[in-house]
């Protein structure tokens, strides 16, 4: 089942309630949930960049701390109900007219992804950053995977993501996938 909300946030409300506020309804209240795929965070720090000009290193560090804590909370709550959690790294978004990321914002995205990739934080990881990044400009989406706004994947990009996520979801728990 897909309970994704476009424009969603981990920490604050966006186009809908934040992940922590809707977790019980969207995950725990559903029958038969065995695996949760979590791709969240770009709207949190993109929104920070949009609301604070310039964003200070203290604000970025605090946001990183809050995101890590919220990811940990989701994993702990899911594990308490026997649900495996797959973390997805945040895709590149330099060039986005929506968030206008600075080099410091890109460093922040890299830091979040490093934390997501760290063994033990999630049961498995799908590295969407590496999958969707342009090898010639890793802070940009691969042109074929870019919808044109430099933030959202194209239909081909979403197909690539689905092909990367599905084997990890179907893998037996404990199997290593990155």
Taking alpha carbons only, the member of 153, 161, 158, 87 closest to residue 119 is 87
Would you state the pLDDT for residue 13? 83
Binned at pLDDT 50, 70 and 90, residue 82 comes out as very high
Beta sheet of 84-88, edge-to-edge order: 35-38, 84-88, 124-126
What six digits make up the tokens of 174? Answer: 């404990």
Taking alpha carbons only, the member of 118, 149, 136, 102 closest to residue 127 is 118
Binned at pLDDT 50, 70 and 90, residue 57 comes out as confident
Q: Which CATH number fits domain 19-24+33-170: 3.40.50.720, 3.30.70.270, 3.40.50.300, 3.40.50.1110?
A: 3.40.50.1110
Could you tell me the residue ranges of all domains in the chain?
A: 19-24+33-170
pLDDT digits (tens, 9 = 90+) for 94-143: 998 888 788 888 888 999 999 999 999 999 999 999 999 999 999 999 99
Would you state the pLDDT for residue 102? 81
Taking alpha carbons only, the member of 56, 57, 121, 53 closest to residue 87 is 121
Spatial separation of the C-alpha atoms in residues 58 and 158, rounded to whole Å: 34
Spatial separation of the C-alpha atoms in residues 41 and 115, rounded to whole Å: 12
């Amino acid at each position: 089942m897909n309970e994704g909300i476009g424009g969603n946030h981990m920490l604050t409300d966006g186009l809908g309630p934040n992940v922590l506020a809707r977790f019980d309804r969207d995950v725990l209240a559903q029958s038969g949930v065995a695996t949760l795929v979590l791709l969240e965070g770009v709207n949190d720090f993109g929104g920070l960049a949009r609301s604070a000009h310039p964003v200070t290193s203290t604000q970025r560090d605090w946001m990183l701390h809050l995101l890590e804590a919220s990811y940990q909370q989701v994993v702990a709550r899911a594990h308490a109900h026997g649900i495996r959690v797959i973390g997805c790294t945040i895709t590149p978004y330099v060039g986005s007219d929506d968030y206008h990321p600075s080099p410091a914002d890109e460093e922040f995205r890299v830091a979040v992804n490093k934390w997501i990739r760290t063994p033990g934080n999630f049961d498995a990881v799908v590295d969407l950053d590496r999958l969707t990044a342009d090898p010639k400009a890793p802070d940009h989406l691969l042109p074929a995977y870019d919808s044109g706004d430099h933030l959202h994947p194209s239909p081909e990009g979403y197909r690539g993501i689905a092909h990367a996520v599905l084997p990890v979801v179907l893998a037996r728990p404990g199997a290593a996938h990155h």
